[in-house]
A and B are shown apart, each in its own frame.
Chain A
Amino acid sequence: MRSLLRPTLRRALQAVVTVWAAYTLTFLLLNVLPGDAVLARVGADTGLDEISPEQLEELRRSMGLDGSPVTQYLDRLSGLLTGDLGDSMRTGAPVATTITDALPATLGLAAAGFVVAVVGAAVLAVVTVRTRSVWLRGLLGSLPGLGLGLPAYIIGPLLIMVFSFGLRLLPAAGSGGPEALVLPAVTLAVVPGAMIAQILVSSLEHALAQPYATTAVAKGAGRLRTILVHCLRNALPPALAMAGVVVGTLLAGSVLVETIYSRAGLGRVMLDAVNNVDLTVVQGVALVGAVAVVVANLAADLGTRLLDPRGRAPRRVAPVVPVAVGSAS
C-alpha cells in the first residue's frame, strides 16, 4: 500500500493543476476575450439605449468587473481558494450557494443514471459474451452502437411518448417521488451505458481468450463462472479508464434530462445562466463539471492500481515464460 501513496499524490497534484487550468480557461473565455460582459448583461435586461456611463461604471463595480483582467483574475482565484465563487451577476446571490442548492437534485439524478448505466452495461456485456447463439450475440453486440446514437434529447421525448402518454405508466415531468425518477434515469443512462458496454464486451472477450481463462475452463469452471470470477476483474481497468468520460457524459446529459423532464437542478441553473448572460454562474457550474470529471479520473486511476498489482510493484515484472507458451498452444 505504501507504494500506492506516491503515484496517488502525484496524480492528485496533476488533478489540482487541471482544475486550475480549466478554471483559467473559462475565465479567459468569459471575461477577457468577448467584449463586455456588463454591456451584454445590461442588454439582456433592458436594452442598451438608456444607460449613462456613470451607471455602467457603478454596475461594473458591483459585479466585480472593474480593474484590469489580471486583478480580476487574481481576485477570483483567491476567492476560489476560500470556496467563494463570486456573486451572480443577475441576482447578486453567492454562486456557491446557488450551486450547492441545486447540486443534490442533479447528484441524485446522476447517481440513478450511473447505477442504471453500470448495471445495464454489465448485464448486457456478460450476456453478450456468455451466449453461444451467434444471432443473439450479433443482436446484443449491436446494441451499444445504437445506444451511442440515442442521446437524452432523442430517447427522452420518445420514452415520454411511449411510457407517459401511450401506456400512462410513469410521469412525464417533475421532481417528486421515486417513480418520477425512472424515466429520467433511464434516459440519462443510455449513452454512458452504451460506452461502458462497448468497452466491457471487448475487454471481456480479450480476457476470455487469455491463458488464465483457458486454465479456469480446463479445471472445470463453467462459462459464466469463468467470466464473472476470473475475467471480470481483469476486464475492468479499460472500463474504469472511461470514468471521467462517463461522469462528464452524465453531467452533460443531466442538463438535457432536466430540461426534457422539467426537473430542478444544476443543468437548469446553467441554462438559465447562459440565457441571462450570468457569467459568474456559468463559470461556477463549468468548474463543478471539471472538478467532477477530474475527481472521477483520479478515483479510476486509484481503482486501477488497486485492481492491477503490476501497477503497484516498483518495477514491472516481465511476463513469466510458461504463460506465453500456454497461450501459443
Chain B
Amino acid sequence: MTAVVVGTAEVPRRRGPALPIRADLLVSGVIVALFVLVAIVPGLFTAADPQLAVPEEKLFAPSAGHPFGTDQIGRDQFARMVHGAGVSLWAGLLSIVVSLGVGGLLGLVAGYVGRAADTFLMRLCDAILAIPGLLFALTWIAAFGAGARSVAVAVGIAGVPTVARIMRAEVQRTRTSVYVEAALACGVRPAGVLFGHVLPNSWRPVLALAPLEFGQALLAMGALGYLGFSDSTEGPEWGALIAQGQTYLVVAPWLLFIPALSLAVVVIAVTHLSSLRNGRHA
C-alpha cells in the first residue's frame, strides 16, 4: 500500500497538467520572442537615442518620458537597454555558432576518424573543460583583446567541449549503423559517407543543445560585460548596465534592478524552454 503512495507522488509531476498549452511555456515563449524582437528592431520600441546625454536630466526616476529613468549623464535608460539587447542577441548567436560549428566539426572528426585523432581531440576538450569557463574567457581576452565580438568567440570556444562530446557520441552510434556499412560497401567515398550519411543522422541532438547554449552564452556575456570587457559601438550590453547601476545603487536603484531582473528573466525563459524541449526528446 505504501509502495503505491511512493509511486503516485511522482505521477502528476511527470505528466503535467492536461492543458492544451502550458502557461509556463507560453510565458517563456512570449518573453523570448519579445527579447528577440527588441534586439532585431530596437527602433520599434524607442525613438530615443541611447547615446544622447542630457546632463540636466541625469538620474531621473522612471517616468512616462523615461520609462526606465535616466543614467548618471542623463541618457535614456530604456533606449540603452533596448539597443543593448541587440548586442546580447548577436553576441549570443555568434557564440553558439562558434560552439556548434567548431564543436560539431571536432566531434565529427573525432567520432568518425577515431584512433589518434579521437584521443587528441578529446584530450583537447578535457583541457578546455578543465579551465573554468570565465577564467578561460578571460585568458582568451588577455590574448586577443576585449570587445563584444572577442568575448562572444571566447564564450563560444568554452562551449566547444560539450558540443564535441555529444556530436562524437552520435557519430560513433551512426558510424556503426547498417546504412553506413551499406554505403561503404557500395563504394561511396569516405567524405561522401561522412557528409551524406553520418552527418545528416547525427546533428539533431547537437542542435537541440543550441537554446541551452544560448542561455549560457547570454549569462557569460553578461558576466564579462559586468567586468567591463564587452564594449561595443552599438551600445552597452546588459551586464555592463548592471555594473554601472551598482555604482548608483543608493541614488538610483532602478538603474540596477531593471537590467538585472530583465537579464535574469530572459535567461530563465530561454533555459526553461530548452530544458522542456530536451526533456521531451529524452
Q: A21-B127, A208-B6 are in contact. Are A151 and B227 (CB under 8 A)?
A: no
Which residue of the partner chain A has the closest CB to B141? A274
Chain A residues near B140: list those with CB within 8 A. 29
Cα distance, A283 to B140, chains bound together (Å): 10
Cα distance, A141 to B275, chains bound together (Å): 14
Which residue of the partner chain B has the closest CB to A25? B127
User: A97 at the A/B interface (Cβ < 8 Å)?
Assistant: no
Q: Is the CB of A282 within 8 A of B139?
A: yes
Q: Is the CB of B132 within 8 A of A251?
A: yes
Cα distance, A25 to B129, chains bound together (Å): 11
Q: Is the CB of A154 within 8 A of B242?
A: yes
> In chain A, residues 151-205, which have Cβ atoms closer than 8 Å to a Cβ of chain B?
151-154, 157-158, 160-161, 165, 205
Q: A158-B257, A260-B246, A274-B142 are in contact. Are A153 and B222 (CB under 8 A)?
A: yes
Which residue of the partner chain A has the closest CB to B128? A25
Complex interface bits, B88-127 against A, C-beta within 8 A gives 1, otherwise 0? 0000000000000000000000000000000000011011
Q: Is the CB of B243 within 8 A of A30?
A: no
Q: Mostly helix, strand, loop or mixed at chain B's interface?
A: helix
B122 to chain A, nearest CB (A): 10
B187 to chain A, nearest CB (A): 39
Q: Is the CB of B219 within 8 A of A151?
A: yes
Which residue of the partner chain B has the closest CB to A285? B135
**Which of B142, B227, B253, B271 is in CB contact (< 8 Å) with A255?**
B227
A179 to chain B, nearest CB (A): 19
Complex interface bits, A260-277 against B, C-beta within 8 A gives 1, otherwise 0? 100000000011011001
Q: Is the CB of B133 within 8 A of A252?
A: yes
B268 to chain A, nearest CB (A): 4
User: B272 at the A/B interface (Cβ < 8 Å)?
Assistant: yes
User: A26 at the A/B interface (Cβ < 8 Å)?
Assistant: yes
User: B136 at the A/B interface (Cβ < 8 Å)?
Assistant: yes
> In chain A, residues 238-282, which have Cβ atoms closer than 8 Å to a Cβ of chain B?
244, 247-249, 251-253, 255-256, 259-260, 270-271, 273-274, 277, 279, 282
B30 to chain A, nearest CB (A): 17
Chain A residues near B264: list those with CB within 8 A. 149-150, 154
Which residue of the partner chain B has the closest CB to A283? B139
Cα distance, A151 to B267, chains bound together (Å): 10
Q: Is the CB of A29 within 8 A of B139?
A: yes
Which residue of the partner chain B has the closest CB to A250? B132
Q: What is the count of residue pairs linking A and B with beta-carbon distances less than 8 angstroms?
A: 163
Complex interface bits, A124-164 against B, C-beta within 8 A gives 1, otherwise 0? 00000000101001100100011011111110011011000
Complex interface bits, A310-324 against B, C-beta within 8 A gives 1, otherwise 0? 000000000000000
Q: Is the CB of B249 within 8 A of A160?
A: yes
Please choose the segment from B9-17, B70-78, B198-206 that sits at the chain A interface, where 4 or more of its residues have CB less than 8 A away. B9-17
User: B180 at the A/B interface (Cβ < 8 Å)?
Assistant: no
Which residue of the partner chain A has the closest CB to B136? A286
User: A22 at the A/B interface (Cβ < 8 Å)?
Assistant: yes
Q: Is the CB of A157 within 8 A of B141?
A: no
Q: Is the CB of A153 within 8 A of B226?
A: yes
Q: How many residues of A contact B (CB 8 A)?
A: 63
Q: Mostly helix, strand, loop or mixed at chain A's interface?
A: helix
Q: Is the CB of A286 within 8 A of B131?
A: yes
Chain A residues near B249: list those with CB within 8 A. 157, 160-161, 165
User: A290 at the A/B interface (Cβ < 8 Å)?
Assistant: yes
Cα distance, A286 to B275, chains bound together (Å): 31
Chain B residues near A94: list those with CB within 8 A. none
Chain A residues near B141: list those with CB within 8 A. 274
Q: Is the CB of B243 within 8 A of A153?
A: yes
Chain A residues near B271: list those with CB within 8 A. 145, 148-149
Q: Is the CB of B135 within 8 A of A151?
A: no
Which residue of the partner chain B has the closest CB to A220? B2
Chain A residues near B246: list those with CB within 8 A. 157, 160, 260
Cα distance, A253 to B227, chains bound together (Å): 12
Cα distance, A247 to B132, chains bound together (Å): 8
B109 to chain A, nearest CB (A): 18
Please choose the segment from A4-12, A54-62, A209-217 that sits at the chain B interface, where 4 or more of its residues have CB less than 8 A away. A209-217
Q: Is the CB of B245 within 8 A of A157?
A: yes
**Which of B6, B142, B227, B243 is in CB contact (< 8 Å) with A279?**
B142
Interface centre among A132, A157, A214 (most CB of B within 10 A): A157
Interface centre among B131, B140, B250 (most CB of A within 10 A): B131
Chain B residues near A283: list those with CB within 8 A. 139
Cα distance, A251 to B130, chains bound together (Å): 12
Chain B residues near A253: list those with CB within 8 A. 134
Those 10 A-B pairs whose CB atoms lie nearest each other, nearest first: A252-B134, A149-B268, A248-B132, A21-B127, A153-B226, A290-B130, A252-B132, A149-B267, A22-B127, A214-B3
Given contact pairs A149-B267, A247-B132, a sample of 12 additional A-B residue pairs in the complex whose CB atoms are under 8 Å apart: A22-B128, A24-B127, A154-B261, A154-B263, A209-B10, A214-B6, A217-B3, A248-B133, A283-B139, A285-B135, A289-B130, A293-B131
CB<8 Å pairs between A and B, sample of 17: A19-B130, A29-B139, A149-B265, A151-B222, A157-B260, A160-B246, A161-B249, A161-B253, A208-B9, A214-B3, A252-B135, A256-B223, A259-B226, A274-B138, A283-B139, A285-B135, A290-B127
